Amino acid sequence: MAHQPEETSSAASRTIILTAAWVGTLAASWLPGIIWQELFGGDATSVLWVRVGSVMVLLVLSLVWKAIAPLTGYLLVLLALMMGEFVLRPLIEFSRLWQQFFGAGCGSWFMSSLGPQLLRLLMALLPWVVLVSIGLKRSDYFLVRGRLDAPAEPVRWLGMREPLSWTRFGTQSLVILAALFLVLSLLTNRPSTADLVRALPLLPVALLFAAMNSFNENFAYRASLLSQLLPAVGKQQGLLLTVVLFALGHFYGMPPGVLGLLLFGLLGWLLAKSMLETKGFLWAWLIQFALDVLVFTFWAVGVVTTSGG
């Protein structure tokens, strides 16, 4: 009984940190825009600065309120991601020089498609600058190979009751998800055999863009965030926070709506789980790379179909 006040205080502190972490994550996510658009018919992008302002307020609070001080690094990374998306990206993307080389009127579909990937890479550098500035090493933010055969913790809702090595679990997950994405892509796009054959010369481009996109998303929306969430809220809550942030970002993607939330939530969970359990980046990169190869390959099919080969 002598430890009850201390335990109560500890529980209260954890509740405060978790509440602040969830408020910051949901404010930074597309949830405010989704609510504004779906319920009130407004433009989802019109609440961008409300989202940025909310994170900035929490960041200032973390600097003056000891109870949420452990979240300072996480909020800094969130703010860096948002400033990259809402400030740096428009400044670069709509500049005359950028439009000349990568804009729709540059005369090259390859260059106009490479531009967005380069922008995402630039935006991923902002949280990296934050992490380096606070003295973290690459291993602290998972930017290492990791242990590829590390044990994967059981997942009862998947029927996995015993630990498996990530060599087996990762391979099985990759194959199943790739098959699911392939079926969805075929049902959505319905390309002809002739279109697939004509798109083969663009396969190296699809591989390049898939490699870039997988790195950008896994570093920006998993590795950088998890590195700051783990010491603040722990493994399970950190994983859930990144899953929700990632899934909400795909609400207006393909497929849109609730199905998109579920599919990308599952993917985000798997990729974050791989980082946490292998202590590295490679499995997450490999799994998303395989899926992105399908995405960009069907994009290439669309290019040759539109251009008539």
222 — phi, psi (to 5°)? -135, -65
The chain-wide mean pLDDT, for the chain, equals 89
Return the domain boundaries, the chain.
4-307
pTM of the model: 0.91
Distances (CA, A) of 128 to 80, 225, 294: 9, 10, 28
**How many of the other CB atoms lie within 10 Å of CB of 73?**
21
Is the peptide bond preceding residue 163 cis, with omega within 30 degrees of 0? no
Q: How far apart are the first and last CA of the chain?
A: 78
What pLDDT score was predicted for residue 130? 95
pLDDT band at 307 (very low <50, low <70, confident <90, very high): low
Buried b (16+ CB within 10 A) or exposed e, 134-169: eebeeebbbbbebeeebebeeeeeeeeeeeeebeeb
Mean pLDDT over 175-182 rounds to 90
pLDDT band at 1 (very low <50, low <70, confident <90, very high): very low
157 Cβ partners below 8 Å, 6+ apart? none
Closest of 47, 56, 89, 88 to residue 75, by C-alpha: 56
Higher pLDDT, 160 or 265: 265
What are 87-106's pLDDT values in tens digits?
899 999 989 889 888 887 66
Q: Rounded distance, CA 85 to CA 80, Å?
A: 9
Q: Rounded distance, CA 307 to CA 309, Å?
A: 6
pLDDT band at 308 (very low <50, low <70, confident <90, very high): low
